[in-house]
Amino acid sequence: MIRFSENFSLKSYNTFGLEAKARFFFEFTEPEDLPYFLANFPDWEKLPLLLLGGGSNLLFVGDFEGLVLHANVPGIKQVREDRNHVWLEVGAGENWDRFVGYCVHNWYGGIENLSLIPGNVGSAPVQNIGAYGVEVGDYIDTVKGFDLKTFEGYEIAGSECQFAYRDSIFKNQLKDRFVVTSVVFRLDKFIEYKLDYGDLRAEVEKRGGEKIHYVRDAVVAIRESKLPDPEKVGNAGSFFKNPVIEQDLADKLKSEFPAMPVYSAGEGKTKLAAGWLIDQCGWKGYRDGDAGVHSQQALVLVNYGLATGQEIYQLAMKIKDSVQDRFGVELEPEVNFIGC
Ligand code: EPU
C-alpha cells in the first residue's frame, strides 16, 4: 500500500494530538516502494524531510513545509533461533507495545520492561527507547532501512548504532538520511529479569514473582499510575532528557538540596531527574488554557485538548528557564520540535 497526499493533516500522527499539516506526505508498507516514489518525485531533494514513526516524540510548533516519509511496514517474523536466543524481524510500522505483548506471550525475554511505551518499532532504535533499567539498544541485532544519500537499502549492526541514553547514530550522522524499514531483535529464551528500578520488584512480587507477564503487568500498572494515556490526553512522554552534569556541580547541588535524586552516569558525571527539578520549581499540575504539566509526573507536558504547538513550546521554554534560574542546570528537550 502507498499513499501520497498534499496538505495532509498530521493530527492523528502525533501523540500530542496537535493539528499540523504536511505539505507532502508519503506512506508506504513495502520497503521497495520508497525508491520508486522518490525517483518519480524529484522535487524531494529540495524539500525539508521528516521521517515520521509513531509521532510519539514530536512537537509540531507549526505546519511542516516539506515531505513527510512514513514507513508503515508491517510484520513480525522469526529469522533465526539457537539454544539461548530467538531473532525476530519486525516491520517499522508495527506498534511498539503490541510487539512487546507478542514477546511476552511467547516468553521471549528482554524488552518486557519497555511495555506501554507509545510509538512504532521503527522509532525504537532512533531514540534508543528506555525505561525501568532497560534500553532497547541492548536487544537490537540489526537495523534495516533505506539510505537516502546512497539510494540503497542498507543494514546496520546494533553494535554500530552508537546507542547511548536516548541517542543513536540515527539522530546524528544518519539524521534525515536513513529511513528505518525493519528492526531485527535478539531476545532471550532464558530470561534475566531486571527489577531494580524504583518499586518494580515490589510490584512484580505482589503479582506472584519473577515471570515475564507479571513484569509486563507491573510495568503497565506503574506507567498507568504516573503517565497519561496519549489516547486520552495528548503528550509525548518525557518532554526533557534527564540532564547529565559534572560531578562537582552535582555535589554542590546535593549539599544544598539533600533530597535531590542523583544517579551515577560514568566517570565524573551525574545524572539528575529532570522531573524532580521541574517539580521543585512548582510546575506539577500547572495548566494554562489547554497546555499543562501532568499532575503525577512533572516531566510530562500535556495537551488537554485544543492547545497549539506554540503554547506547549512556550510553556516548555518557561519551564526550562525556571530550572536554569533555580538550579543552574540546562534542560535539553527529548522531543523534537518541528515547524519552527
Ligand atoms: N520525580 C519527582 N517529581 C516528578 C517526577 C519525578 O520528584 O514530578 C522524581 C521521582 O520521585 C524519582 C525521580 O524523579 O525520584 C525519577 O522519576 P521517575 O522514576 O518517574 O523517572 P524519570 O527519570 O522521570 C525516566 C524516563 C522515562 C521512563 C522512567 C522509568 C527519561 C527522560 N525519562 O523518567 O521515560 O519511563 O525513567 O524508567 O529518561 C520517556 O522517555 O518518554 C519516558 C517516559
How far, rounded to the nearest angstrom, does the alpha carbon of residue 238 sit from its chain's CA centroid?
A: 9
Q: Which of 303, 111, 266 is nearest to 192 (CA)?
A: 111
Q: What average pLDDT score do residues 37-60 get?
A: 96
CB 57 less than 6 A from any atom of ligand 1: no
Q: How far is the CA of 237 from the centre of ligand 1 (A)?
A: 10
Distances (CA, A) of 31 to 13, 86, 307: 20, 24, 35
How is domain 234-338 classified at the CATH fold level? 3.90.78
How far, rounded to the nearest angstrom, does the alpha carbon of residue 155 sit from its chain's CA centroid?
A: 21
Q: DSSP string covering 291-330, please? A: EEE-SS-TTEEEE-SS--HHHHHHHHHHHHHHHHHHH---
CB 198 less than 6 A from any atom of ligand 1: yes
How far, rounded to the nearest angstrom, does the alpha carbon of residue 118 sit from its chain's CA centroid?
A: 7
Q: What average pLDDT score do residues 321-327 get?
A: 98
What is the structure's pLDDT at 53? Answer: 96
CB 261 less than 6 A from any atom of ligand 1: yes
* pLDDT tens per residue across span 278-321: 999 999 999 999 999 999 999 999 999 999 999 999 999 999 99
Q: What average pLDDT score do residues 158-168 get?
A: 97
161/169 Cα distance (integer angstroms): 5
CB 132 less than 6 A from any atom of ligand 1: yes
CB 241 less than 6 A from any atom of ligand 1: yes
117/19 Cα distance (integer angstroms): 22
* pLDDT tens per residue across span 271-280: 999 999 999 9
What is the best residue among 126, 299, 301 to mutate for testing ligand 1's pocket, by most ligand atoms within 8 Å of CB?
299
Residue 12 confidence (pLDDT) above 90? yes
CB 219 less than 6 A from any atom of ligand 1: no
What is the best residue among 56, 134, 241, 276 to mutate for testing ligand 1's pocket, by most ligand atoms within 8 Å of CB?
276
Q: How far is the CA of 190 from the centre of ligand 1 (A)?
A: 29
Bridge partners of residue 74, in order along the sequence: none
Which residue has cell 519497555? 114
Cell (9 digits) for 261: 535524586
What is the best residue among 132, 200, 238, 263 to mutate for testing ligand 1's pocket, by most ligand atoms within 8 Å of CB?
238
Q: How far is the CA of 144 from the centre of ligand 1 (A)?
A: 31
Where does CATH 3.30.43.10 sit in the chain? Answer: 2-71
Q: Is the dihedral of CA 242, 97, 190, 197 positive or negative?
A: positive
Where does CATH 3.90.78.10 sit in the chain? Answer: 234-338
Cell (9 digits) for 15: 501523540
Q: Is 247 exposed, middle or buried (0-12, 13-18, 19+ CB in 10 A)?
A: middle
What is the structure's pLDDT at 14? Answer: 98
Q: Are 30 and 50 in contact (CB under 8 A)?
A: no
* pLDDT tens per residue across span 64-123: 999 999 999 999 999 999 999 999 999 999 999 999 999 999 999 999 999 999 999 999
Find out if CATH 3.30.465.10 is the number for domain 76-226: yes
Where does CATH 3.30.465.10 sit in the chain? Answer: 76-226
What is the structure's pLDDT at 117? Answer: 98
Q: How far is the CA of 271 from the centre of ligand 1 (A)?
A: 12
Q: Which of 58, 72, 87, 79 is nearest to 25 (CA)?
A: 72
Cell (9 digits) for 335: 522531543
* pLDDT tens per residue across span 23-36: 999 999 999 999 99
For atom 5 of ligand 1, which residue has the closest CA? 275
What is the structure's pLDDT at 340? Answer: 81
Residue 335 confidence (pLDDT) above 90? yes
* Cβ-proximal residues to 34 (8 Å cutoff; 6+ apart), any chain: 28, 69, 71, 146, 179, 181
Cell (9 digits) for 17: 494530538
Q: How far is the CA of 279 from the centre of ligand 1 (A)?
A: 11
Q: How far is the CA of 39 from the centre of ligand 1 (A)?
A: 44
Ramachandran region, residue 8 (left: φ > 0; alpha: ψ -120 to 50; beta: rest) = beta
Find out if CATH 3.30.429.10 is the number for domain 2-71: no
Residue 148 confidence (pLDDT) above 90? yes
Q: What are the catalytic residues?
A: 166, 238, 334
Q: What is the mean pLDDT of the chain?
A: 97
CB 8 less than 6 A from any atom of ligand 1: no
Q: How confident is the model at residue 49 (pLDDT cuts 50, 70, 90)?
A: very high
CB 276 less than 6 A from any atom of ligand 1: yes
